[in-house]
């Protein structure tokens, strides 16, 4: 937060004009200038000065004022503590960071120091987008990552710059680290999809990296000490209480720097509390299929282009029944594997469940009872847990134990499921039994409410409860005695947080208690509109006993809560292992359910360059339509006759055909099938064999980027350049309508040259859809180019899209027919037909490529053009000119029409 947003500081010598409470606020705010300060005052978090103005606008709450500071009104607004999570969620979503300042002592203690003493307060937590733990602030089906980015500084212009990425999900304890180069940095960040990014001040202002960082939301520059490489290993070792980081594997210095920055930021935001993080797991470069941000957006893997989950590939394939399983599925989808053996292990697990429906159904039923173990564990460890989190651990361990017993009886389980079964049996059985014995059937949301420990669990607690409950019985007996003694049957003994226990009678009976002799015993406390309230010495003494017993009951319950939390924390690693095992079972059984439900088949994945899809379907589109989806084949494998040998290059399919015929659907479905296969899922096809793809590129659709001054065509060219500069033989490239955003000759030239580059330089498997029919001539001179088109039929002047892919090239685009289907006015359609006829006639007289005949690029096109027509009118036009419609009868007009038709048929022969 810049200086103008900070609360004004009192000038020297003017502290007397600042109230003690405002002085405390200003001091705490000065220590947290980049956060909105939630300042606890009783049952509210109050905000003052500029913080209040910002929060008032962001939250739509009333802005008031509280006193004056240096002669000016102090703006103020507040939110109830009970509803603070709701407001925090909205502020975090808007990019704000919040410092939560709590009362650190009972107000009664402050009063003992004097009437003007201020309750001690302090910030106990910084709430930032990447460090959330509460269920109400998190998406249960999505990880929330904090990403730290560090880099090497090249010592020379020729040295290649390296980057390290370390990311943590504080709510689950997941901790990973990897290294990449500048070319793949954007793709790696897009894969992780962090909720918050932390970088050093120097990197944030680096002119080479700053444009990339500013594309992402919630980027937080930090002081250089957080990214100090000299102290990184020590800080990381201290966090995990180990002597050396060698047990984490061979981490480079820059990876250690990024990992240490992550844990340092976590400690600073949690004020010393250490979430139960797993040791950093290093991901090898190239272990996952590289997919850049543009491709992820174009293919709508986790979200649609509008930002919604519904309609995405994730939504179409998610059949998980637990939150952890859904998060793991999203991870697999975001980072498909490139190791055929690892992919095969995942496919084995899915096949195990597809082949045994009773086991699959039984496992899924038991999984439904498993709460989110990992997130409950984190909340308990960092002190934000409640009784229901204890119950989540209990129920999760019970489900884990039952599933472990069930799987232990299954012979010949796949390796992934065998490891999961072993993880399910890791947590302590005694912990499960202790939690089951301790927790009551009905649990409050907050531990401060008490009543969450079962009767019979703790003798001291039971005795204290009996005293408290007996005292309540005594209150009832005292009320009956007072009613008899006074003759007032309506007399009641009630309680509230202000007066404590009191005697209440109606207004008409109040005078009797205030008159002798009863006034000597009943002491007047309060008069309301319809009631009068009293107390007695006897009632006051009894209240003290009741309050003492109630406080002791809550104190004993809180002691038991803390002990159970310590036991859970000490077994935290085993609990996390069980949580991971439950998620593994959920994703495997969920994908098996999907495969059976949608008739998916197991793909064959190897290290070749094969790409053969038999009867492929679009996994999202087929679920959104009511009629059967038209399946299509695709073969991008190296042709055996191409002369490239076993390590040859893949085919390029040039796909032509009209709009609305299904070209884009066909392009996307093959990319999505490849992703599903490499993430370890069965695929929507009759058969599929795919040689591992290292990078996937997709340029489908059109959009501008006006914020960065890029037109639609500029965005298209930037994305195409990234593809042509990075694609390898193992890549899969999906391109749609390259060059259509500019003039015809410019666009055709770009598309032509791009196809040649893909064929000769990148040598990758590719699908290239285009409306430039001239490109189909390239198949005659380039052996790995294959022409394909979308099959259509014309019927009574209309076009029928069959959505089938067939060999060959389209001869027309049917744009006017599509415009008619879209609802353009009939006059516009008819005029377009006339203009098209004139243009086509002119094109026959003036070849479209005239003037380009001498360019090598267009030699093949020149050879492919039909012979030029002479300039004389055709026989059909001559016959039309000879007709006089006004002088013809209907019969003569009909005969003339058939004659014209015969003339046209003879001419086309």
- Binding-site positions for ATP read 657-664
Say how many Å lie between the first and final Cα of the chain, rounded: 78
* Rounded-to-integer distance, Cα 602 and Cα 347, Å: 7
DSSP secondary structure of 821-855: HHT--HHHHHHHHHHHHHHHHHHHHS-TTTT-TT-
- Quote the DSSP letter at residue 126: E
Q: Which segments are annotated as binding site?
A: 657-664
Contacting residues for 645 by C-beta, under 8 A, at least 6 apart: none
Cα–Cα nearest to 680, from 254, 350, 438, 421: 350
∠ CA 23-26-31, rounded to 5°: 130
> Coil, strand or helix: which one is 167?
strand
Contacting residues for 326 by C-beta, under 8 A, at least 6 apart: 140, 141, 142, 318, 320, 586
∠ CA 557-561-562, rounded to 5°: 120
* Rounded-to-integer distance, Cα 784 and Cα 857, Å: 18
Token pair in block for residue 754: 């791009």
CB-count exposure of residue 706 (10 Å: 0-12, 13-18, 19+): exposed
Q: What is the dihedral of CA 216, 218, 223, 225, to 10 degrees?
A: -90
Beta-strand runs (E) in 26-71: 36-41, 44-48, 64-69
Q: Which residue do the tokens 């109230």 mark? A: 19
Token pair in block for residue 7: 């609360």
Token pair in block for residue 388: 């229901």
* Rounded-to-integer distance, Cα 414 and Cα 352, Å: 7
Contacting residues for 39 by C-beta, under 8 A, at least 6 apart: 25, 28, 45, 46, 47, 48, 101, 121
Rounded (to 5) percent helix, strand, coil in the chain: 50, 20, 35
In this structure, what are the phi and psi dihedrals at residue 249, rounded to the nearest 5 degrees?
105, -175
């Amino acid at each position: 937060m810049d200086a103008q947003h900070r609360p004004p500081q009192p000038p020297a010598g003017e502290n007397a004009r600042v109230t003690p409470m405002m002085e405390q606020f200003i001091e705490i705010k000065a220590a947290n200038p980049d956060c909105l300060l939630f300042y606890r005052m009783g049952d509210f978090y109050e905000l003052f000065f500029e913080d209040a103005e910002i929060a008032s606008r962001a939250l739509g709450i009333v802005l008031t004022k509280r006193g004056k500071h240096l002669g000016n009104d102090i703006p103020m607004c507040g939110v109830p503590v009970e509803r603070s999570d709701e407001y925090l969620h909205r502020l975090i979503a808007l990019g704000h960071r919040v410092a939560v300042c709590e009362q650190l002592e009972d107000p009664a203690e402050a009063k003992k120091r004097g009437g003007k003493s201020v309750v001690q307060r302090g910030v106990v937590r910084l709430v930032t987008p990447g460090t959330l733990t509460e269920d109400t602030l998190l998406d249960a089906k999505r990880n929330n990552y904090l990403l730290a980015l560090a880099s090497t500084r090249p010592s020379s212009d020729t040295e290649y710059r390296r980057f390290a990425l370390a990311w943590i999900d504080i709510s689950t304890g997941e901790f990973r680290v990897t290294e990449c180069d500048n070319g793949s940095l954007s793709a790696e960040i897009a894969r992780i999809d962090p909720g918050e990014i932390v970088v050093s001040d120097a990197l944030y202002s680096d002119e080479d990296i700053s444009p990339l960082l500013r594309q992402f939301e919630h980027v937080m520059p930090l002081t250089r000490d957080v990214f100090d490489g000299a102290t990184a290993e020590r800080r990381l070792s201290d966090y995990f209480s180990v002597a050396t980081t060698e047990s984490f594997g061979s981490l480079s210095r820059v990876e250690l720097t990024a990992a240490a920055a992550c844990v340092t930021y976590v400690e600073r935001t949690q004020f010393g509390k250490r979430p139960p993080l797993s040791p950093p797991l290093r991901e090898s470069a190239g272990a996952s299929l590289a997919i850049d941000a543009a491709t992820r957006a174009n293919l709508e893997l986790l979200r649609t282009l509008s930002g919604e989950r519904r309609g995405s590939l994730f939504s179409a394939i998610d059949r998980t029944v637990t939150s952890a399983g859904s998060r793991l599925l999203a991870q697999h989808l975001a980072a498909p594997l490139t190791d055929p053996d690892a992919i095969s292990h995942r496919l084995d697990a899915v096949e195990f469940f597809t082949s045994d429906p009773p086991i699959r159904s039984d496992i899924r039923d038991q999984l439904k009872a498993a709460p989110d173990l990992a997130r409950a564990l984190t909340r308990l460890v960092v002190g934000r847990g409640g009784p229901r989190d204890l119950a989540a651990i209990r129920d999760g361990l019970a489900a884990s134990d039952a599933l472990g017993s069930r799987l232990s009886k299954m012979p010949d389980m796949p390796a992934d499921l065998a490891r999961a079964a072993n993880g399910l049996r890791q947590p302590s059985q005694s912990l499960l039994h202790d939690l089951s014995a301790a927790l009551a059937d009905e649990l409050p949301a907050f531990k401060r409410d008490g009543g969450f420990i079962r009767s019979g669990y703790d003798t001291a607690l039971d005795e204290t409860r009996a005293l408290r409950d007996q005292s309540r019985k005594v209150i009832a007996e005292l009320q009956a005695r007072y009613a008899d003694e006074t003759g007032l049957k309506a007399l009641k003994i009630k309680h509230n947080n202000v007066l404590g226990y009191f005697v209440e009678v109606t207004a008409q009976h109040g005078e009797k208690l205030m008159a002798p002799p009863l006034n000597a015993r009943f002491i007047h406390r309060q008069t309301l509109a319809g009631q009068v309230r009293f107390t007695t010495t006897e009632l006051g003494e009894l209240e003290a006993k009741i309050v003492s017993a109630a406080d002791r009951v809550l104190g004993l319950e809180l002691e038991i809560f803390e002990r159970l939390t310590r036991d859970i924390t000490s077994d935290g690693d085993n609990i996390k292992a069980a949580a991971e095992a439950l998620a593994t079972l959920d994703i495997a059984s969920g994908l098996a359910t999907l495969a059976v439900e949608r008739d998916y088949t197991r793909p064959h994945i190897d290290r070749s360059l094969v790409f053969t899809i038999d009867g492929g379907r679009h996994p999202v589109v087929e679920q959104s339509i009511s009629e059967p989806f038209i399946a299509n084949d695709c073969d991008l494998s190296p042709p055996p006759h191409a002369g490239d040998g076993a390590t040859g290059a893949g085919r390029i399919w040039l796909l032509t055909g009209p709009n609305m015929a299904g070209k884009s659907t066909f392009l996307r479905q093959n990319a999505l099938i490849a992703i599903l296969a490499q993430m370890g899922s069965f695929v929507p096809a009759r058969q599929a064999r795919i040689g591992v793809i290292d990078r996937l590129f997709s340029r489908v659709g059109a959009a501008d980027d006006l914020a960065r001054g890029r037109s639609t065509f500029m965005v298209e060219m930037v994305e195409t350049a990234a593809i042509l500069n990075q694609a390898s033989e193992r890549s899969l490239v999906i391109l749609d309508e390259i060059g259509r955003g500019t003039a015809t000759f410019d666009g055709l030239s770009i598309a032509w040259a791009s196809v040649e580059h893909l064929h000769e330089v990148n040598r990758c498997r590719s699908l290239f859809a285009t409306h430039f029919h001239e490109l189909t001539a390239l198949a005659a001179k380039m052996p790995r180019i294959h022409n394909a088109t979308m099959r259509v039929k014309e019927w009574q002047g209309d076009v029928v899209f069959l959505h089938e892919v067939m060999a060959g090239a389209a001869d027309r685009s049917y744009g006017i027919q599509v415009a008619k289907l879209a609802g353009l006015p009939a006059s516009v359609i008819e005029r377009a037909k006339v203009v098209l006829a004139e243009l086509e006639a002119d094109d026959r007289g003036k070849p479209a490529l005239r003037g380009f005949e001498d360019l090598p690029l267009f030699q093949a096109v020149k050879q492919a053009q039909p012979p030029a027509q002479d300039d004389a009118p055709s026989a059909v036009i001559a016959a039309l000119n000879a007709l006089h419609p006004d002088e013809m009868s209907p019969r003569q007009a009909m005969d003339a029409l058939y004659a014209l038709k015969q003339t046209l048929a003879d001419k086309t022969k």
